[in-house]
Structure 1
């Protein structure tokens, strides 16, 4: 495998979030094939929203488990078995796309394969709407390859979930947050069709697109936080986007797109910008929202 990856950081190294801690041996046992790895992720983690009627309220707190080692702690407390051994749906760790992706990214890194999470929007779940979403990007056969571990099988909307296009998506593909922001600024998309769910319009729109750009750069550089965590310049999605914030998102999105195109100088400048701006990177204390409607809470990382 060609591991000379055009990047300014080592994506084969664990971050604080992907480190399995005492459970490294569990990841050592896993396959690295995207399809098989996705099966394991869906076996360990169940989507809290898609399967909510079948899941116990008592384990809803699983969704705030940020670190892979803690996700695996929770799983092993319930099962004490290899991760590929089938779990009953109701006993799986409640999570979302970010968690499916984190498990896969952690497993790939454990095997020395560069991998990272990509934050953006999926147009293949609900016609005409783009849900916020996180997928895997791994360095396979000398190039970046994207796959969605949450998708079990191909569909008319997503014919190749294990080998997704890297370029900007059409109406039913995956679009990075940077691509979506640039398209919005050009007047090419309707921001109201981008968010958490079409039935929750207040968690979507221009402010949501803006926040997703910050999430994208954070995940790229190893701060793989939850999609309902907030820090620095991330504001409620229904808050107006100021001219200053829009200019910042323009700058960060342009650097992300240039870095994706292979411009290492742009990626280097992006990393410096990210690390130097406390409005972009999370500090030791963040605010987390509650997807179930409870009050926000401060969390020490």
Structure 2
């Protein structure tokens, strides 16, 4: 998903600092929700780019619109329409291209609506000097920081501001949080949280699916479906815990992904594992 492929040349001479990398993302993308707020009328063709999964195809669209370097200013009409997953994918792709360990995380932001946990994606990268994984929200440009009254550094998001899906699942299952507080728009509940657990688990295996992908494997259910039996819920507990313990149990995550067919995405997607 994050390999630039034939468009790797666009990643030539990338800056080294995280702030500049995030500015590149923000310079080349516009969030679909922000476009609507700014009364930008999106054509059907521009909106359809939300369905693009791999970064290589997104880079192809960007190059078609403006063949200049990614650092060259792009007006709103030239930017790729995306969402939080796409902003994250872009950043993670650049970091991996620079051989910096990075991963996408799916979960919930606490900073968009008071009292709610909003479906969201962020990136994480390994800071060798500090010997820790640092969470980055590349979507939070100065305008977003002001709009949402963000008080933390988007380049080092605190763990209490972004709740990874596995942590959210545990909070809901132990009655420490209301499942209906987790979601986006009119979608919410424990089924929704489980969907994000699957997305996060897949992302930790470098399969960064779209926020609405479903209808197969562990995602073959509707939000309105009854919850599964307790035995299945305990299996979900196990999977969620693996994502929470990813730093200590990465080998287990990889092994379980490889052995569990319920994680296999549809073959017609043509996804090649990295």
Question: Following the alignment from structure 2 to structure 1, what is the Cα–Cα distance between the partners of residues 266 and 3?
Answer: 19
Q: When the two structures are aligned, how many residues end up with a matched partner?
A: 259
One of 13, 17, 35 as aligned partner of 1:51 = 35
Q: What TM-score does the superposition give when structure 2 sets the normalisation length?
A: 0.89
1:81 to partner: Cα distance: 0.9
Residue of structure 1 equivalent to 2:252 = 269
Residue of structure 2 equivalent to 1:176 = 164
Residue of structure 2 equivalent to 1:162 = 155
1:108 to partner: Cα distance: 0.8
User: What per-residue deviation string (whole Å, max 9, x for no partner) do you get for residues 52-75 of structure 1?
Assistant: 231422311010111111000001
Q: 1:279 to 1:138 in 2, by over 3 A?
A: same
Structure 2: give runs of 5+ residues left out of the alignment: none
1:161-240 equivalences under 5 Å are 161-165=154-158, 167=159, 169=160, 173-197=161-185, 200=186, 203-230=187-214, 231-234=216-219, 235-240=221-226
1:300 to partner: Cα distance: 5.5
Structure 1: give runs of 5+ residues left out of the alignment: 1-16, 286-298
User: What per-residue deviation string (whole Å, max 9, x for no partner) do you get for residues 141-161 of structure 1?
Assistant: 232111100001456444111
1:109-120 equivalences under 5 Å are 109-120=96-107
SS at structure 2 position matched to 1:125: coil
Q: 1:32–1:107: 8 Å Cα contact kept in structure 2?
A: no
Q: 1:210–1:246: 8 Å Cα contact kept in structure 2?
A: no
User: What per-residue deviation string (whole Å, max 9, x for no partner) do you get for residues 108-162 of structure 1?
Assistant: 1111111110111001111112111111100122321111000014564441111
Identify the structure with the greater helix proportion: 2
Q: What TM-score does the superposition give when structure 1 sets the normalisation length?
A: 0.81
Q: 1:275 to 1:158 in 2, by over 3 A?
A: farther
